[in-house]
Amino acid sequence: MLPFRYAIRNLFRDLSRLAQTVLGAALVTLLVMCATAFNQGMNDVLSASGDPRNVILLGAGSEDSLQRSEIPDRAAGIAEAAVPGISSWSGRRAVSRELHFMGYVAVPNHEPVQTLVRGVTPNALLVHPDVTLVEGHFPKPGQLLVGRLAWKSLGIPRKDLRVGSTLRFDDQTFTVSGVFAAPGTVMESEIWADLNDLRTLTQRDNLSGVVLRLNEPDPADAQLFTTRRLDLELAAVPESDYYANLADFYGPIRAMTWITAALIGVGAVVGGFNTLYAAFASRITELATLQTLGFSRPAILFSLTQEALMAGLLGALIACGIALWTLDGLVVAFSMGTFTLRMTPTVVFAGLGTGLGLGLLGAAPPALRCLLPPLPVALRSAA
């Protein structure tokens, strides 16, 4: 086998070519890491948003969208009395009447942005135990409670959305009464309003849905209730299933990120073929001389592959450094809310694997092509 220092020396023989190879590998690796973190972040936030003990009562036919759902207000009281196994705290049953509305919210000195406004009552805290007030208090009439990441979905600086600031919604001015956290869920990017306020503004007498929190994660009783009360035209959907369906809905978007990464990766591999072939072709005579000295073609091929793998790994390490420095913790907004990019070990290993894969795929064809000519032909190529 050729000594390892031979591969290292040749790696730095042409610095411009090395920079081209390393930067190409770094770009593709960074894109793959972004795609992996994007898919992982979106899937995690939608999966964590659904509680297996919660069941949502929606309008029949609108099981996939709370915004389109409409159910009568009396359905909440009927369900509370008829469905067994509903949790309670201090004598209050965990039944939350909710109205979901996608509306335009404007912050002073900023353009209006469409975001989700959820009309709730204090009972919402009973069915969403992940929600905790980190500042201020629950909204009263004329007030709003904002999620910790709502500033991102509104596209404004964090400092412009704090307790005491004002928002305009449907030509009405509201004051921010508090900030809540719901780590890892889409609720952190929502705005909560008093239910009666939102019903008045939207001129709706009905609800979008009713959330029931059960003692056990078994929706059978709630589903049986909807089949018995056909007059209410309800459907009972476990909250975890509801958000799982939303994750499937966003599947094409996640697929597009992989397709984009794959297309750029193919372009990088093809470019790597040309770059490495130019690098290896200029050394055909040198490679033939090594064969005359007794080194086998597999040994030479292994040494050339080492060069390409080191270049790919160097690019991957640069990409990992950039990702950890600039992308880790980045908040990304989408139509349902926000999620955070995390450079988890899975993402980092995906990046390192990409760099090594690019080096291996990019080196093999050019190296084989340069080693195929018969030895006499290769030795005369210098002429």
Q: What confidence tier does 380 reach under pLDDT thresholds 50, 70, 90?
A: low
How confident is the model over 114-151, as pLDDT tens digits?
Answer: 888 999 999 999 999 999 999 999 999 999 999 999 98
Say if residue 66 is in the same domain as residue 188: yes
pLDDT of 378 > 70? The answer is: no
Average pLDDT on 208-233 reads 92
User: Is position 14 within any domain?
Assistant: yes
33 and 132 together in one domain: no
Per-residue model confidence as pLDDT tens digits over 193-205: 999 999 999 888 8
H runs (alpha helix) in 212-296: 220-228, 239-249, 251-281, 284-292
The per-residue pLDDT for 355 is 86
Tens digit of each residue's pLDDT (9 = 90 or more) over 65-108: 888 899 999 999 999 999 999 998 888 899 999 999 988 998 88
Same domain, 62 and 189: yes
Boundaries of domain holding 190: 53-216
Give yes or no: residues 108 and 94 share one domain. Answer: yes
Residue 260 has pLDDT above 90, yes or no: no
Within 38-126, strands assigned E span 54-59, 88-89, 92-93, 95-106, 113-120
Clarify whether residues 144 and 172 are in a common domain: yes
Judge whether 37 and 327 are in contact, CB under 8 Å. yes
Q: What pLDDT, on the 0 to 100 scale, is given for residue 27?
A: 87
List the one residue out of 173, 171, 153, 175 whose CA is nearest residue 162: 175
User: Does residue 207 share a domain with residue 96?
Assistant: yes
CA-based nearest residue to 120, from 110, 128, 108, 132: 128
Domain-embedded: residue 242: no
Can you give the pLDDT at residue 273? Answer: 66
Based on the fold, state whether residues 353 and 268 are members of the same structural domain: yes
Task: Please say if the pLDDT value at position 152 is more than 80.
Answer: yes
pTM over the 0.85 mark: no
Specify if 206 maps to a domain: yes
**What pLDDT score does 367 carry?**
76
Per residue in 296-308, pLDDT tens? Answer: 888 888 888 888 8
Question: Where does the pLDDT of residue 221 fall: very low under 50, low under 70, confident under 90, or very high at 90 and above?
Answer: very high
One domain for residues 65 and 209: yes
> How many domains would you assign to the chain?
2
- The answer to whether residue 337 scores a pLDDT higher than 80 is no
Give the 3-state secondary structure of residue 66.
Answer: coil
Chain-centroid distance of CA 297 in Å reads 46
Q: To the nearest whole percent, how much of the chain has pLDDT over 70?
A: 94
Cα angle: 111, vertex 116, 203; to 5 degrees: 95
Percent of the chain with pLDDT over 90: 38
The reply to whether 237 falls in a domain is no
Closest CA to 290 of 303, 277, 279: 303
Q: How confident is the model over 232-261, as a mean pLDDT?
A: 85
Please say which residue of 216, 234, 258 terminates a domain.
216
Q: What are φ and ψ of residue 184, in 5° steps?
A: 80, 10
Mean pLDDT for the stretch of residues 280-308:
80
Same domain for 111 and 210?
yes
- Residue 272: its pLDDT value, please? 65
Is residue 82 one of the residues assigned to a domain? yes
Mean pLDDT across 274-292:
73
User: 87 lies in a domain?
Assistant: yes
Structural domain includes residue 43:
yes
Are both 170 and 272 inside the same structural domain?
no
Considering the chain, what is the average pLDDT of its residues? 86
- Whether 238 is covered by a domain: the verdict is no
Task: For residues 211 and 71, state if they share a domain.
Answer: yes
Mean pLDDT check: name the lowest of 139-153, 216-230, 256-270: 256-270
Please determine, for residue 383, whether its predicted confidence score (pLDDT) is greater than 50.
no
Least confident of 49-58, 161-170, 242-251, 320-329: 242-251
- Split at pLDDT 50, 70, 90, the class of 210 is very high
The mean pLDDT of 250-279, rounded to a whole number, is 75
Q: What are phi and psi of 339, to 5 degrees?
A: -145, 165
Residue 172's Cβ-count burial label (10 Å; 0-12, 13-18, 19+) is exposed
∠ Cα 59 63 69 (to 5°): 40
Q: Report the alpha-carbon distance of residue 296 to residue 1 in Å, rounded.
A: 8
- Whether residues 33 and 164 fall in one domain: no
The mean pLDDT value for 11-33 works out to 84
